[in-house]
Amino acid sequence: MHGYSKILPFVLSSVAIVAVPEIAAQTERGAEVVKISCTSCHGPGILGAPKLGVAEDWKERRAKGLDELVKRTIEGFNQMPPRGGNVNLSDADLRAAVEFILAGLDKHAETPAPAVAERPATVVEAKPAPKPTQRKQPVNNFNRLMKPASKRNPPPAADGIHDPQNAGTTILQHPKEAFSPMPKSNSGNRVDWVKALDAGDLNPRFVLDDPSKTAVTLDLNIVREVKGSMPDVVYPHKQHTEWLDCSNCHPAIFIPKKGANNISMAAILLGEKCGVCHGKVAFPVAECRKCHSKNKPKQ
């Protein structure tokens, strides 16, 4: 019995010595994965991603448990693609990354705020306030095309399109009044026009002077496989033909033949192919998941 009492502490200490390097290696791997694959979105909080080090952002997600968070990371969740967009990461890599992020939250919460030394009170002689100077509006504003909420959908007389001197302009309905009951979106005039049409909030005329005419819709989805981990593109004819005639797109923009259209993001950003409308009169290319909506099969 005395022999076992001497051996047992040695065994336990050996196990601890072996475990410490493994934990350290796992933590180091987690930090590496977070730096390479997670920081770009979770750092600034892009598309609603919880920010690194902000415990409040992770509160609800953390309540689901570690295994559920790892599962979402592997399979994808909301705007996050499967495996964070990096198919080369193993399940163990992703678990290490999640554990590293959660450990960082605990470390951040435990760090006490630095003590502020009290400064002796000083008597400052009152001086007259300086005259306000009129600041000039800088010529190069940050994203000058991004209008604040107060300036979106202005009345016709102030939109820069209609002639404010024309008497007919003043009788037109204000967009904010017309759009207020419609489903909201994050771009353009802040209306989700597809949902609005499905909900019956508007009824576009197929023929201007004949309300009895209806559009011939084509319920056909075209799937375009894309490289990398980005979800494949699904082009729905139904939502387009409810608004447009076939001749709006074919054959000038898209040749109606399989394999005949070379479509790329570069071409779209230059205003070609899908870019003929999207970013001008339809939602912009920044709404990635509206087009890239079909997740790739799990490997």
Domain boundaries, the chain: 10-110, 204-294
Residue 107 clears pLDDT 50, i.e. is over it: yes
DSSP-assigned beta bridge partners for residue 53: none
pLDDT of residue 291: 96
Token pair recorded at residue 73: 């990371």
Query: Is 10-110's fold the same as 204-294's?
Result: no
Question: Within a 10 A sphere around the Cβ of 291, how many other Cβ atoms?
Answer: 20
Cα dihedral sign for 224, 274, 42, 66? negative
Per-residue pLDDT averaged across 9-33, rounded? 58
Residue 221 clears pLDDT 90, i.e. is over it: yes
Instruction: Kindly report whether the global pTM for this prediction surpasses the value 0.85.
Output: no
| Residue pLDDT, tens place only, 139-180 | 666 565 667 777 889 999 999 999 999 999 999 999 999 999
Give how far Cα 259 sits from Cα of 254, 256, 277, Å: 11, 9, 22
State which H helix or E strand residue 176 sits in: helix 175-179
Q: One-letter amino acid identity for 116?
A: V
Location of structure tokens 């080369």? 88
Domain 10-110 has CATH 1.10.760.10: yes
Homologous superfamily assigned to 204-294: Cytochrome C3 (3.90.10.10)
Q: Where do the H-state alpha helices sit in 224-272?
A: 237-241, 265-269
**Phi, psi (rounded to 5 degrees) for 224:** -115, 115
